[in-house]
Structure 1
Amino acid sequence: MKPRATARWFVRGQARPGRSPLFCFPHGGGSAAEFVRWSRRLPGVELSAVQLPGRGSRLSEPVLSTMDEVVAAVVDVMPTTAPYSVFGHSLGALVAYEVTRELRRTGRRLPDSLVVSGFPAPSTKRTEPPVHGLPDDELVAEVGRRHGGLPGEILTDPELKTMVARYLRADYRVLETYQWRPGAPLPVPLTVFGGRDDSIGEDELRAWGEHVTEPITVRQFAGGHFYFRENPAVVLRALAAALRSTVPADRAA
């Protein structure tokens, strides 16, 4: 992988040479910076968060608007030669899953641990009406109604709303045009996180078990779709434990 290209795609937290990488895939409309901040509380890993084009430091770049485009671009630059783990929340969970499938298809090293959060199993049929074609105001309002998590200033600042709507639209186009393709379950340990007050129920989280050959662990936390913002210390302790449980003893120290 070209280091410069990898650096553009992955925003790294605290450098910890010798620690296994953890790659985080943000939710739709999410920021890599939110997940990079977790690095302080996860000293056992070297954390990086995916920075898609069209946001953050890559705001001027054209957005990607299909799952195939996102997966191909990430797999092209993702370093997988050393042991590593993957975490994804909401849309990021789906991207993490499809990236892992593509890594297997292309004969690359698979993650030692896959942790998905706040998203039903990929084969689940979507029932919510699509939103990616809505005007900016309606798009931002509907995303806020469904999941919350949008800062209030976005609703009152026209320039900021236009910017956010651009990448929200791209992310929801990725999600709403996605079609799950049947395939062999992944041979990776899987942990599934969710909020008890989220609209995604425990049964939908447990259905992820159909997509891996290994037993899964399901953990639900107090809170809604963004449960990890409500009590981050508890969630990050659970994430650290999930990662440790899948690292061989000679690398867990």
Structure 2
Amino acid sequence: MMNARTTGRWLIRGPARPGRPRLFCFPHGGGAAAEFVRWSRLLPDVEISAVELPGRGSRLSEPVLTRMDELVAEVVGIMPAGAPYAMFGHSFGALVAYEVTRELRRAGRGLPNHLIVSGFPAPSIPRTEPSIHHLPEDDLLNEVGRRHGGLSSEVLADPERKTRVARYLRADYQILETYEWRADTPLPVPLTVFGGSEDAIGADALRAWQRHVTGEIGVRCFPGDHFYFRQHKETVLRALAGVVRTTAPADRAA
């Protein structure tokens, strides 16, 4: 990937931009880091790093993870110790970013200076959809497509690619569907919620993130479905850059 480099195994980093705000991106279920690193081209004032989970992208040959606690422990280990940064997570990635932030606090580490969650209901809302991670390959992919879209016809027509995608989607859904939210003190981190106006996840579920932080949250809905940022990329990234740039750096360890 042009101007991108791998940081260890867990991070794919865009162009280095010393002195610019840093943004760590957490992909959606089945997503890879490359999509978010490419945002660097439209965000020249932000330094982007994206988390690459095992079993996809540059880590295709590695065993997948299927438990949230294992995933969070690995990611916490590669987060920066001092420099201020923001986090953005979409869908499944929003939940991971939230849990990483909670674990950073438990470990007495510096917290992100802003958390941006996208396309995911507040973790305290009980899941009502039936589990799908145990389904046969075709049924799994069909149900993911029905719920969220995002699966291209090219992938579905290629048996090898289809099996590969089903492998890491199954792992991500197993993490999601076996996850149990445990109540804790709200996070002292500014939080902004993004969503698509045509997504099945409604505004009330997005606003419910309020209980998870101490300050007032911001909620921004954009035209589009679950992957609204693909449909209106420039508009969404301008809004994202605005949130990242206007956040005052802080070191919140408790």
User: What TM-score, normalized by structure 2, do the two folds share?
Assistant: 0.94
Structure holding more helix per residue: 1
Equivalence map 1:16-95=2 (5 Å): 16-95=17-96
Identify the residue that residue 202 of structure 2 maps to in structure 1.
201
- 2:70 counterpart letter in structure 1: E
Equivalence map 1:62-141=2 (5 Å): 62-141=63-142
Contact 2:192 2:219 in 1 (8 A): yes
SS in 2 for 1:141: helix
With over 3 angstroms needed to count, the CA separation of the structure-2 counterparts of 1:150 and 1:5, relative to structure 1, is closer
Contact 1:192 1:218 in 2 (8 A): yes
Question: CA–CA distance in 2 between the matches of 1:14 and 1:231?
Answer: 23
- 2:106 counterpart letter in structure 1: R
Further displaced range: 114-123 or 74-83: 74-83
- 2:182 counterpart letter in structure 1: R
Equivalence map 1:178-189=2 (5 Å): 178-189=179-190
Identify the residue that residue 252 of structure 2 maps to in structure 1.
none
Contact 2:95 2:120 in 1 (8 A): yes
Q: What's the offset of the Cα at 1:174?
A: 0.5
Identify the residue that residue 164 of structure 1 maps to in structure 2.
165
Which ranges in structure 2 are unaligned for 5 or more consecutive residues? 250-254
Question: CA–CA distance in 2 between the matches of 1:68 and 1:244?
Answer: 31
Q: What's the offset of the Cα at 1:18?
A: 2.2
- 2:217 counterpart letter in structure 1: I
Question: CA–CA distance in 1 between the matches of 2:172 and 2:130?
Answer: 15
Question: CA–CA distance in 1 between the matches of 2:42 and 2:212?
Answer: 30
SS in 1 for 2:176: helix
SS in 2 for 1:191: strand
Question: CA–CA distance in 1 between the matches of 2:136 and 2:191?
Answer: 37
Identify the residue that residue 193 of structure 2 maps to in structure 1.
192
Question: CA–CA distance in 2 between the matches of 1:39 and 1:61?
Answer: 27
Which ranges in structure 1 are unaligned for 5 or more consecutive residues? 249-253
Question: CA–CA distance in 1 between the matches of 2:77 and 2:107?
Answer: 11
The share of aligned pairs that are identical, in percent, is: 71
* TM-align CA RMSD: 1.5
Q: What's the offset of the Cα at 1:153?
A: 1.2
Contact 1:6 1:77 in 2 (8 A): no
Equivalence map 1:149-160=2 (5 Å): 149-160=150-161
**Post-superposition CA distance 1:22-50 (Å, at most 9, x none):** 10000000111111111111122210100
User: What TM-score, normalized by structure 1, do the two folds share?
Assistant: 0.94
Q: Number of paired residues?
A: 246
Identify the residue that residue 243 of structure 2 maps to in structure 1.
242
Q: What's the offset of the Cα at 1:115?
A: 0.2
SS in 2 for 1:197: coil
